[in-house]
Structure 1
Amino acid sequence: MKMKGKWPGLFDKSVLFLILCLWTITSSAQTAQQPDGKAIHQLSAKEAVEYARKNNYQVRKALEDIQIQHQVNREVTSNALPQVNGSAGINHFPQVAVQSFPNFIAMGTYGVLVDQGVKDGSGNTIVAPSDYGLINAQFGTKWTSTIGVSLNQLLFDGQVFVGLQARDAAMSFARKSAEVTEQDVIVNVYKVYFQLLIAKYQLELSHENIARFEKLFHDTREIYKNGFAEKLDVDKVSVTLTNLRTDSLRLKTQMDNGYYGLKLLMGMPIRDSIVLTEDLTEERIKSEILDTAYNYQDRREYQLLEIGKSLNEYNVKRYKMSYLPTLSAVGQLNTAAQRNQFDFFSAGGQWFANSLIGVSINVPIFDGFRKDALIRQAKSAVKKTEFDMEMMKLNIDNEVASSLNTFKAAVYAVDAQRSNMKVAEAVFDQTKLKYDQGLGSNTEITQTQAELRLAQTNYFAALYDATVAKIDYLKAIGKVQ
C-alpha cells in the first residue's frame, strides 16, 4: 500500500538518519556476477550484516586503530630494550685555534737559575722577573675523525614499567572501541533492511489497490456507457486511480533510495543490486523477546568504560612511580684519528681507541609540585569514569525499560491494526459489491478505499515500530548480533 499518513514521514526520516551513519562489509551470501560487471547480491538480514562487518569503512578504520595501538605498544616496549647508536664524524680546521697559557718554560728556567745562585755577565745574581709572560701556540691538527658506538640500557624507570603493564589494557580498549563501532553498523543495517522489507510489502499492497480500482474504473465506465452512471462517477474513480498510481511510483522511488542507503551502510558499490531474501512475519517479531533479564557487562559501551577506568588507574600509578629514581647503564666504544692532511684511509695511519662503561642515576628532588598535580588530575579522571559508569547503568536501565515498553505497545498495535485492516478490506469488498449491484454510490467506494489505505498504512507503521523496538531492545541488553 502507498506510504501515506504517518508512514511516509517515518520512512523518509529513518532512511535519511540511517544513511548518515557510514558503515561497511562482504558476505557469504549468494552473489551473481553480470556481464557488465554489476553484481546481484541475494542477502538475508544476517548476511547483510556480515557483508557490512567486512566492508564498512568506519569499521575498517576502527580495525586500523587496533593496528595503531599494537605499534604504540611496541613503542612502549622499546623503552625497556637496549638503545644502540653508531656515530661517525670528520672535522676540518682551516685555522687551528691558538691558545695562550703562562710561560712555564721561563718559569722553570728562572727557578733553576735562582736556586743555583747563577750570576749574570755583570756578576749580579739572577733574579726571577715578576711576570714571565705568555706562550701562544696552536694545539691540535687540521683534520680530526671519530667513529664510535654507544649503548644505553634502562635498568629501572617506574613510568616505563607501568606502561609495559598497561599494554594489554590499551589493546583491549582499541578492540572494544572497534566492537562499539561495529555494533552501531549492525543496528543500522538491520533497521534499514527491515524497513525496506516492509516497504516492499506495502508496495505489493499498493499494486493490489491499483488493481482493485482499475477494475472499478472499467466497471464504472461500462455502467456509464449503459446509462446507469454519470460521467462524474467515472471521473472520480479516474482521479483516485491516478492518485494511487502516483503514490505507488513515489513509494517505489523512496524504496529505491532506501536501497542506495543500505548499500552505503554496507559499503557496497552503488552499481550492484540487492535482493532481500528475508521474510518478516509477526511471529518472528514477537519471538525471543520475553526474557527481560540483562547484565550491564553485556553492553560493549559499559565494557569500554571499565577498560577506560583501568587505563586511568594505570595513569595514577605511573605518575606515582615518577617520584622514584631512574637508573640506566651506559657504554661507549670510540676510535679517533688526527691528521694535518686528509689521509685517514691511507695505510699506516694511527687510530686511537677509547671506551667507557658506566651507570647513571637520576634522583628527582623538587619539580614545583608538578607530579602531585598530575596525580590529582589522573585520580579525577578515574572518578569521572566511575561517574560515567553509573550514568551508563542508568541509561541502560532506561533504554531497556523504554524499548521493552515500546515493543509491547507496538505488538499490541500490530494486532489491533491487523484486525482493523481486515475489517477495512471486508468493508471495501462489501461496498464494492453493493456498488456493482447498483445499491451503493461512488462516494462510498472512494471513502471506504481511503479508510482501507489508512488502515494498511497504520498496520505497516505498527509493524515497523515493533521491528525497531525489538532491535533497540536487543541493543539495550547487549544481545544484538
Structure 2
Amino acid sequence: MKKLLLLCFIATVSSVAFGQQKKWTLQECVQYALANNISIQQTELDLESAAIDKSDAVGNFLPNLNGSANNSWQTGLTQNVLTGVLETQQTRNSSFSISSGVRIINGFRNHKVLDRAELSRIAADYNISKLKDDIALNVAVAYLQVLLAKESAKVVVSQNAVTQQQIERTQELVEGGVLPRGDLLEIKATNANEIQRIVSSENAVQIGLVNLAQLLNLKDFANFDIADANYQVRGEEILNTEAEVLIATAKDTRYDIKIATQNEEIARKDLEISKTGFFPTLDGFFNYNTRESNRDSGFDVVIDPNEPFVQGNPIGVTEGGEVVNSLDPNIIGGNAIGPLPFFEQLYLNDGISYGLSLNVPIFNGWSTRNQVKRSEVNVMRSEFQKELAEQNLRVAVYQAYTDAKAAKESYEAAKTALESQELAYQYAKDRYDVGLTNAFDFSQSKLRYDNAQIELARSKYDYIFRIKVLELYFGVPVTELKF
C-alpha cells in the first residue's frame, strides 16, 4: 500500500512538473538568441580586437622606455674594462642601461592611425548590430514556422476526430443497409491518410523546434517548446507608406549601408596613412648607462724613503751635450687595491647621451609609391561596394514591399477561400449524413477544407513576417517589433 502511494505521489509530481514546463514566447527566444548566439559572441571578439587596436594607436604617441642589465665573466686574453688594454685575466663585469625614445614628427601618421582605429571600432559595432538583426529575423522565421506546423497539426487532428465519428456513423449505416460497404472503406482510407498526415505534421513540429533551439544555442532539445500564442496581424499601416520613403529611411538606418560607408572611410584613411611614408621622421632619444667590475681599482705602491727617486729613461740633452734622464719613483713594493664599492662604481662609471635622429626617405624601391597605389585601388573598390550595397538595399526594399502587398492579398484570398470551403464542407457533410452523396466526394470536400485552413495559417504567418521585414527597413529596432 505504501509503495502504491509513493508511486502515485511520484507520478503526480512528475505530471505537475511536466505541466509547468517552460514554453518560450517569441520575445524570449529573440532576447535569448541575442545574448547566447555563438556567432554574435564571435563577432563581439572583433569589437574587443578593435578596442585593442585603438589602444595600440594611442600608445604610439607615448615615449618608449627600456632597461637592460648584463653580467658576464671573462677568462684569458680579454679587455680590461678600466684601462681598455687586452690582458690575460679572469674578471666579472656588469653593465646597466636605460633608454627612451619618442617619435616627434612622422607626417601625422600616428594621428591618422588613431582615426583609423576608431573607424574600425565603429565598423565592428555596426557588424554586431547587423548580425543581431539577422539572427533576430532568423529566430522569428523559425518561430513562425513552428507555429505554422502546430496550426497545421491541430487542423489535421481536429478533422481526424470528425473522421472517427464518421466511421462510427457509416458503420451503422452500412450495417443497416443504407450505405454500401465501399463508403465505409473510403472513410477508413481517409482516416489512414489523415493519421499519416498527423505523424508527418507532428514530425514537422519537432524538426522546427530543433532548428529553433539550435539558433538559440540550447542543448536540451527534448524539453524545448514554444508558447501556443495566437499572433495577430499588426502594423499593416506601414503598407500605406510609399516605397521610396521606405528606401530613403532604410539608407539612413540599415547597417548594410552604414558598414559600407564605414569601410569606405577606412579605405580613405588607409590611403592617408600610406602617403605618410613620403615624409621624413624625427625621433628624440635619451640613454643612460653605467658599469661595474670586480677588477682591482689600482696599486698601493711603497717608495724607498732613503732614495725616493732613481734615474729613468733619457728624456733629452743639455746645451753641452749631456744626456738628461727622467726621475722615476723608487718603488720597493706595494699592494693591489681591491674594487671600489658597487654603487660607487655605478656613480663613477655612468654616462648619458641624448639627441635627435632625422630619417629622410629618398628611395626604397618604389615600395611607398606602390603602397599608395594599392590604397587608391582599395578606395575605389570600397566606393563600388558602397554603391552595390545601396543598389541591393533598394532592390531588397522594393522586393519586401511587393512581397508584403502580395502576402496581404494572399491572406485575404485565403480567408475568403476558407469561408467558401467551410460552407462547401458543411453542405457535403449534410448530404452525406442523409445518404445523398458518397464517401469519396465527402472526403474530397473535407480534404479541401483542411487544406484551406492550413493555407490560411500559412498566409497569415507569412504576412506577419513580411510586415516585420518592412518595419525593420523603416527603422524599427528588432527588439521593438510588435507581434
TM-score by length of 1: 0.79
Deviant stretches of 4+, over 6 Å: 34-39, 343-349
What do residues 91-138 of structure 1 show as CA deviations (whole Å, max 9, x unaligned)? 222222489xxxxxxxxxxxxxxxxxxxxxxxxxxxxxxxxxxxx953
- Tell me, yes or no, if structure 1 residue 350 matches structure 2 residue 301: no
Letter of the 2:345 partner, please give it: Q
- Tell me, yes or no, if structure 1 residue 225 matches structure 2 residue 175: yes
Could you say which residue in structure 2 is the equivalent of 1:304?
259
Give the conservation status (yes or no) of the 8 Å contact 2:264–2:382: yes
Give the conservation status (yes or no) of the 8 Å contact 2:404–2:463: yes
Letter of the 2:291 partner, please give it: A
Work out the CA distance in 2 between the residues paired with 1:310 and 1:478. 23
- Tell me, yes or no, if structure 1 residue 239 matches structure 2 residue 193: no
Q: 1:147 aligns with which of 96, 106, 130?
A: 96
Q: How does 1:199-278 map to 2 (within 5 A)?
A: 199-271=149-221, 272-276=223-227, 278=229
Could you say which residue in structure 2 is the equivalent of 1:289?
239
Work out the CA distance in 1 between the residues paired with 2:422 and 2:416. 10
What do residues 208-240 of structure 1 show as CA deviations (whole Å, max 9, x unaligned)? 211111111111011112122233221221121
- Tell me, yes or no, if structure 1 residue 402 matches structure 2 residue 351: no
Change (3 A) 1:350 1:394: closer
Work out the CA distance in 2 between the residues paired with 1:39 and 1:55. 24
Q: 2:68 aligns with which of 75, 87, 90?
A: 87
Give the conservation status (yes or no) of the 8 Å contact 1:217–1:234: yes
Letter of the 1:257 partner, please give it: I
Change (3 A) 1:193 1:356: same
Give the drift of 1:265. Answer: 1.1
Letter of the 2:91 partner, please give it: K
Q: 1:69 aligns with which of 50, 72, 89?
A: 50
Give the conservation status (yes or no) of the 8 Å contact 1:285–1:466: no
Q: 1:469 aligns with which of 445, 466, 469?
A: 466
Could you say which residue in structure 2 is the equivalent of 1:375?
372
Secondary structure class of the residue paired with 2:220: coil
Give the conservation status (yes or no) of the 8 Å contact 1:77–1:164: yes
Give the drift of 1:477. Answer: 4.5
Work out the CA distance in 1 between the residues paired with 2:19 and 2:266. 47
- Tell me, yes or no, if structure 1 residue 330 matches structure 2 residue 276: no
Q: How does 1:102-181 map to 2 (within 5 A)?
A: 137-138=86-87, 142-157=91-106, 158-181=108-131
Change (3 A) 1:348 1:452: closer
What do residues 328-360 of structure 1 show as CA deviations (whole Å, max 9, x unaligned)? 21111122023359x999768733211212221
Could you say which residue in structure 1 is the equivalent of 2:269?
314
User: Percent identity over the alignment?
Assistant: 18
Give the drift of 1:287. Answer: 4.5
Work out the CA distance in 1 between the residues paired with 2:435 and 2:188. 19
Give the drift of 1:471. Answer: 3.6
Change (3 A) 1:477 1:375: farther
Letter of the 2:191 partner, please give it: L
Q: 1:196 aligns with which of 146, 151, 159?
A: 146
What do residues 386-435 of structure 1 show as CA deviations (whole Å, max 9, x unaligned)? 11111112111111111111111121111112211221121111111111
Give the drift of 1:36. Answer: 8.5
Q: How does 1:42-57 map to 2 (within 5 A)?
A: 42-57=23-38
Q: 1:434 aligns with which of 431, 435, 440?
A: 431
Work out the CA distance in 2 between the residues paired with 1:465 and 1:40. 28
Work out the CA distance in 2 between the residues paired with 1:379 and 1:344. 65
What do residues 248-284 of structure 1 show as CA deviations (whole Å, max 9, x unaligned)? 1211121122112112112233255333264322x42
Work out the CA distance in 1 between the residues paired with 2:224 and 2:201. 18
Could you say which residue in structure 1 is the equivalent of 2:307?
none
Letter of the 2:64 partner, please give it: Q
Give the conservation status (yes or no) of the 8 Å contact 2:151–2:454: no
Give the drift of 1:187. Answer: 0.9
Give the conservation status (yes or no) of the 8 Å contact 1:52–1:185: yes
Give the conservation status (yes or no) of the 8 Å contact 2:404–2:467: yes
Work out the CA distance in 1 between the residues paired with 2:161 and 2:18. 37
Work out the CA distance in 2 between the residues paired with 1:376 and 1:386. 15
Give the drift of 1:165. Answer: 2.4
Give the conservation status (yes or no) of the 8 Å contact 1:80–1:160: yes
Work out the CA distance in 1 between the residues paired with 2:352 and 2:16. 73
Work out the CA distance in 2 between the residues paired with 1:366 and 1:280. 70
RMSD: 2.8
Work out the CA distance in 2 between the residues paired with 1:173 and 1:98. 60
Give the drift of 1:380. Answer: 1.6
Give the conservation status (yes or no) of the 8 Å contact 1:45–1:278: no
Give the conservation status (yes or no) of the 8 Å contact 1:260–1:270: no
Change (3 A) 1:461 1:48: same
**Structure having greater relative contact order (Cα 8 Å, sep ≥ 6):** 1
Change (3 A) 1:274 1:446: closer
Letter of the 1:215 partner, please give it: Q
Work out the CA distance in 2 between the residues paired with 1:201 and 1:383. 52
Q: How does 1:30-49 map to 2 (within 5 A)?
A: 40-49=21-30
Q: Which has the larger radius of gyration?
A: 2
Work out the CA distance in 2 between the residues paired with 1:65 and 1:423. 56
Give the conservation status (yes or no) of the 8 Å contact 2:238–2:467: no
Secondary structure class of the residue paired with 2:350: strand
Secondary structure class of the residue paired with 1:179: helix
Work out the CA distance in 2 between the residues paired with 1:36 and 1:318. 64
TM-score by length of 2: 0.78
Give the conservation status (yes or no) of the 8 Å contact 2:411–2:456: yes
Change (3 A) 1:345 1:463: farther
Work out the CA distance in 2 between the residues paired with 1:405 and 1:248. 34
